[in-house]
Structures are given as C-alpha cells and as structure tokens.
Amino acid sequence: MTLCVIPSKNTQAEEISQPVEVPAEQVAPQDIPVQEVAPQDAIPQELTPEQQAELILQQQLAQVAADQATRQLVIIGDSRTVGMKSAVGKNANLWSAKVGMGLSWMKNVGVPAVESSINENTDVVILMGVNDVRSLSYTSKYVSYINQKAEAWTALGANVYYVSVNPMAFETKSYPGITNSLIEKWNTRMQEGLSENVHYIDTYSQVVGNVSSKDGIHYTKSTYKTIYELINQGIILDKFQQLISNEC
C-alpha cells in the first residue's frame, strides 16, 4: 500500500563552560516513551482501507520515535540553552552553551567544542540569535555560517536543525530593544534563508504568549521543559514527514 499523506502539524542561568556529555546508557537521548512497533504485515484485514492506512501511519510514526531514541543531540546555544540544560537534567545530549553569547562565540568556541562528535548518529540543534536579534542584518551572517556548516555535517550523515528564537515573556528595560515583533522578523529571515540542509523548527508560534519568566527573557524550568519537548517532537515530525515523502 502506498501512502502519500503528510501530517500537519528567573535568575540568570549558570554558564556551561565546557560541553556536558552524559554516557548514553544512563538515559534515552530524548526521554521519549517508545512503544513496541508491530510489523505492517500484521495489519488486521477486517479494517477498512482508511483504517489500515491510519494504522500504518501510526506504526511508522512509532518507528521514527523509536529510532530517534537511539540518537544523540548536539545542542548549541546561549543562556536560554544553559537554562534548558539545567531544567531537563541529565541525559545523553552533548551541550555547548554559554550565557550572553552570539554568532562570534558560536563560530569560534561553541561549534568547535562539539564538532568532532558530529557523525551519522547525530542531530545538531542550534538555539542562537536572541543576543544578536537587535541587528537584523546579522541574519545573513547566521544563515551563511549555518548553511556552510550544515553542508559539511549533512555529508557526515547528521541532521541539522535551527530552532526559532523564542519569545520574550514581557518587554523590559533590562534588555532594551528586544521585542517579539523584532524576534518575529528575525525568525522569518532565518527561515527564508536557511538551506535545505537545515530543518527549521518553529517553537516560537507554539509558546508565544504562554511562557513564564522573572526577567522577561529567561524562562522558568517548566517553560524550558516545554520548549525542549517541542524541539524533540519537531525533530520526530520532520523525520516522519521525510519518510512519508520518500515513499511517494
């Protein structure tokens, strides 16, 4: 049976001065419950064709989630990523993040610190931009660098994801000039400029207006956990969509 259905779908954080790596055997990389996947030849014949098609899609999605649980995330980011790492706790991810950093740090420190660990079993997740968002012209520099690195990492068999800059909980004089309107413009430029080697995950639109923060820019643990879960769901959905597209 051929299926061509594409589903739609506060204190300052402490600095991580070195990439943090936890042995994979301690915990599944994305902490996603994985259910046993039944073989497609076990589809009950008494089901209607539509029910069979839906069951096959469910099985394929479960298989993608099971496969994802064996992969390592390499997560590169700024203070929000530092906060996320602290909120989600120990896992098999490799984190490279530092408070207050932007493009220059990512190029000179953040990426070099973890690049040797990127391989065919890696998903690279980039959460950078909020510290440079006041200068929208920087998007072209981000796009150029990320596209360049993504080409090399994809050649190694890795997958590359750029996560939208997430919203301010409220505007504040502590971070002058950073507004959600500006963040939205940044995200649009990034999404439009990134190459086909970079998969864009839009968490901004899923959490805007529903984030908790004491200082407007850094989130509470519950918000960080929500965004982390949305990133993992976005990766699984992206791979599921690729699987279905390849079968069409």
pLDDT in tens, 55-80: 778 888 888 789 889 999 999 999 99
Q: How far apart are CA 65 and CA 48, in angstroms?
A: 26
Task: Find the mean pLDDT for residues 138-147.
Answer: 98
Does residue 139 lie within any of the structural domains? yes
Task: Determine the Cα–Cα distance for residues 207 and 230; give it in Å rounded to an integer.
Answer: 9
- Alpha carbons 96 and 17: distance in angstroms, whole number: 8
Q: Does residue 1 form part of some domain?
A: no
Residue 85 included in any domain: yes
Residue 55 lies in a domain: no
Q: Is residue 34 part of a domain?
A: no
Amino acid 6: pLDDT: 43
Q: pTM higher than 0.75, yes or no?
A: yes
Domain count, the chain: 1
CATH of the domain at 223: 3.40.50.1110
Residue 58: how many other CB atoms lie within 10 Å: 13
Q: Is the pLDDT of residue 2 over 50?
A: no
Classify residue 45: in a domain, yes or no.
no
More confident position, 194 or 13: 194
Spatial CB neighbours of 120, under 8 Å, sequence gap ≥ 6: 156, 157, 158
pLDDT in tens, 201-235: 999 999 999 999 999 999 999 999 999 999 999 99
Does residue 239 form part of some domain?
yes
Q: Is the distance from CB of 203 to CB of 164 less than 8 angstroms?
A: yes
- Inside any domain, residue 173: yes
Residue (of 240, 241, 238) closest to 200 by Cα position: 238
Q: At 41, is the pLDDT very low, low, confident or very high (cuts 50, 70, 90)?
A: low
Question: Which residues span the domain enclosing 178?
Answer: 20-25+60-243
What's the token pair of residue 75? 């997560």
What pLDDT shows up at residue 49?
76
Tokens for 218?
């850094």
Whether 23 has a pLDDT exceeding 70, the answer reads: no
Assign 18 a pLDDT band (cuts: 50, 70, 90).
Answer: very low
